[in-house]
Amino acid sequence: MRLLASLLALLVAGPALARVKVVATLPDLAALAAAVGGDAVEVTALVAPTQDPHYVDPRPSYVLALSQADLLVVNGLELEAAWLGPLRLQARNPRVLAEPGYVDASTAVHRLGATATVDRSQGDIHPGGNPHFTHDPRAGAAIAALIAQRLAAVDPPHAAEYAQRAEALRGRLDTLAKATRARFAALSADQRRVVAYHESLAYLLDWLDLTRVATVEPKPGIPPDPAQTSRVLQAMKSTGVRVIVQEVYYPARIPDTLARLVGGSVVRLPGGAAFADGETYEAHVAAIAEALYAALAR
Ligand SMILES: [Zn+2]
């Protein structure tokens, strides 16, 4: 009888102890949710920092995670358009089909790269504007504030904690953003220029006041043909820019060849924080800035 009573007590206590289940598409969004949620949440990232978030092979485990989620944090601006929609439907979880449980991070940030005319048939995979804003800690701070609001809506008892953690994170990210920008400002104008592989650096370059002189992909999502590669090489030669920046999941061969031809280097950035290994969002953005600085200052 005593055993039954304690079992019943456990069952009754269960929901109060349950942590909020957060699923984030990108590792950066997962790291931000973990920083804001602390012990009150349990966070799963669907995409690894080594995976191209535009093209992800859906796994059954994704549907399971989505079916159990209290909060789903997506990047938005159609970054996950090719793969997430069907998974959300299969998961049949009304909690993450609409607000407050469905969190679109792009609604919190100042968007760059929106164009009036969009033609997906020409391979444009950024039809609503540039979706790669998590490289910028100022965007990270704004997303953390949005996640805190939404966590508060689904878990009101912890609302104050969420707000405090998001505010503390904002302070740390502001400090990091300003100090890093000042450090890059000390480089010469010639050093503050790069070639991008994909149109994924807009927010990173805006944060650090750097200029992009060419992009290896002729359009977002389209690999370069020989004519395009030759145009990029000419741009590098005429401007003297020798640093190419790409995410680790893009092909290395053409950037390596271009860098060799101009005596330059390729900076390979992870697609996001190594969330599964415990890396924080702050540590990740500091690390990508450091890698970039080391190449530009050479
Ligand atoms: Zn992209």
Helix H, strand E, coil C: the string for 22-34 is EEECCHHHHHHHH
**Ligand 1 centroid distance, CA of 114 (Å):** 13
Distance 43 CA to ligand 1 centre (A): 24
How close is the Cα of 112 to the center of ligand 1, in Å?
12
pLDDT given at position 184: 98
269 Cα: distance to centroid of ligand 1 (angstroms): 14
Closest of 81, 127, 130, 125 to residue 110, by C-alpha: 130
- 127 CA → ligand 1 middle, Å: 10
Whole-number pLDDT of residue 4? 57
Q: Is 134 exposed, middle or buried (0-12, 13-18, 19+ CB in 10 A)?
A: buried
Cis (ω within 30 of 0) for the bond into 100?
yes
Q: Do the beta carbons of residue 166 and residue 148 sit within 8 Å?
A: yes
Cα–Cα dist 110/105, whole Å = 11
pLDDT in tens, the chain (298 residues): 555 555 555 555 445 568 999 999 999 999 999 999 999 999 999 999 999 999 999 999 999 999 999 999 999 999 999 999 999 999 999 999 999 999 999 999 999 976 555 555 556 788 889 999 999 999 999 999 999 999 999 999 999 999 999 999 999 999 999 999 999 999 999 999 999 999 999 999 999 999 999 999 999 999 999 999 999 999 999 999 999 999 999 999 999 999 999 999 999 999 999 999 999 999 999 999 999 999 999 9
Q: Would you state the structure tokens that stand for residue 218, as one six-digit string?
A: 């002729």
* Residue 172: both structure tokens together: 């740390």
Q: How far, in Å, is the centroid of ligand 1 from the Cα of 4?
A: 56
Its CATH architecture, for the domain 187-296, is: 3-Layer(aba) Sandwich (3.40)
Average pLDDT, the chain: 93
* C-alpha 126 – ligand 1 centre gap (Å): 6
Its pTM stands at: 0.92
pLDDT (0 to 100) of residue 159:
98
How far, in Å, is the centroid of ligand 1 from the Cα of 157?
Answer: 38
- Each domain of the chain, given as residue ranges in start order, spans 12-174, 187-296
Centre of ligand 1 to C-alpha 47, Å, is: 14
* 273-293 pLDDT, tens digit each: 999 999 999 999 999 999 999
Q: What is the pLDDT of residue 204?
A: 97
What pLDDT score was predicted for residue 121? Answer: 57
CATH superfamily, domain 12-174, is: Nitrogenase molybdenum iron protein domain (3.40.50.1980)
154 Cα–ligand 1 center, Å = 31
Q: What is the DSSP letter of 290?
A: H
Domains 12-174 and 187-296 share a fold: yes
CA of 219 to the centre of ligand 1 (A): 10
Ligand 1 mean position to 241 CA, how many Å?
23
Taking the centre of ligand 1 as the mean of its atom positions, its distance from the CA of residue 297, in whole angstroms, is: 27
Q: How far is the CA of 6 from the centre of ligand 1 (A)?
A: 53
Give CA separation, 181 vs 113, 286, 287, in Å.
21, 11, 14
If you measure from the C-alpha of residue 190 to the centroid of ligand 1, how many angstroms do you get, rounded to a whole number? 26
